[in-house]
Amino acid sequence: MDYNNIDIEHQLHEVTKTLPENVTLVAISKYHHPDLIMQAYNAGQRVFGESREQEMTRKHDELPTDIQWHFIGHLQTNKVRYIAPYVSLIHSVDSLKLLKEIDKQGKKFERIIHVLLEAHVAAEETKSGLTPSEMTQLLEEGTWRALSNVHIDGIMGMATNTDDQQRIEKDFESLRLLYQQIKQRFFASDEDFKTLSMGMSADYRLALKHDTTMVRVGTAIFGPRQY
Ligand SMILES: *Cc1c(COP(=O)(O)O)cnc(C)c1O
């Protein structure tokens, strides 16, 4: 096996000790061997994130059943059915079509599937997600209210991939404001709308300054990915 030479328990602790109690750590294990996931698991970590549905399902089938699996990658509607039976949170909902399919699969498996709407605020054109106005439009349109087997828990976003800390903080602040606006306008009476997922290895400390409630950290725990 081509393992990274890295003390995962130590790295995990280095991250968790900086997080306030109300912030959830999603350990992003995409492309990493299940043995590395087990090292983090044995150190107490239970929430893991993956970006490809086949890989996540394989790991889900093989690893302990009390792991909460979060899906963070681009999700095609025809792939929802594979993760619907067990996924704990889908971070990357970027269309009404996808939301409807998740609801449909939730019905089929008799569960409510929790999701985040993915926001696009970063400078890169390639980044996926809904612009703030697209997200507001989707919610204004109202179809989502009738979808009883999918629940919108909050929003997810990424900052621009840059060394410019001011730019990164500006993006996190845009995400925080969008989250607050949407919460007030559409989810004021929904206590379960409470998740603002932002911050990765390089920038989660900055995200903490802008009230993130969920950080998605891979490299800082597991080392570099071997693609
Ligand atoms: C891969 C990935 C992460 C983790 O990135 P690191 O830099 O390894 O911490 C977080 N969020 C998303 C959406 C990702 O695709």
Ligand 1 atom, smallest distance to 220 CA: 9
Closest CA to 200 of 178, 222, 183, 182: 222
Kindly report, residue by residue over 4-57, the tens digit of the pLDDT: 578 999 999 999 999 999 999 999 999 999 999 999 999 999 999 999 999 999
Does the Cβ of 151 fall within 6 Å of ligand 1? no
Ligand 1 centroid – CA 104 distance (Å) = 28
**Which one of 4, 11, 28 would you pick to mutate in the ligand 1 pocket, going by the greatest count of ligand atoms within 8 A of its CB?**
28
pTM over 0.85: yes
Ligand 1 centroid – CA 143 distance (Å) = 30
Does the Cβ of 218 fall within 6 Å of ligand 1? yes
Count other C-beta atoms under 10 Å from residue 86's C-beta. 17
Contact 68, 45 (CB under 8 A): no
Kindly report, residue by residue over 83-137, the tens digit of the pLDDT: 999 999 999 999 999 999 999 999 999 999 999 999 999 877 766 899 999 999 9
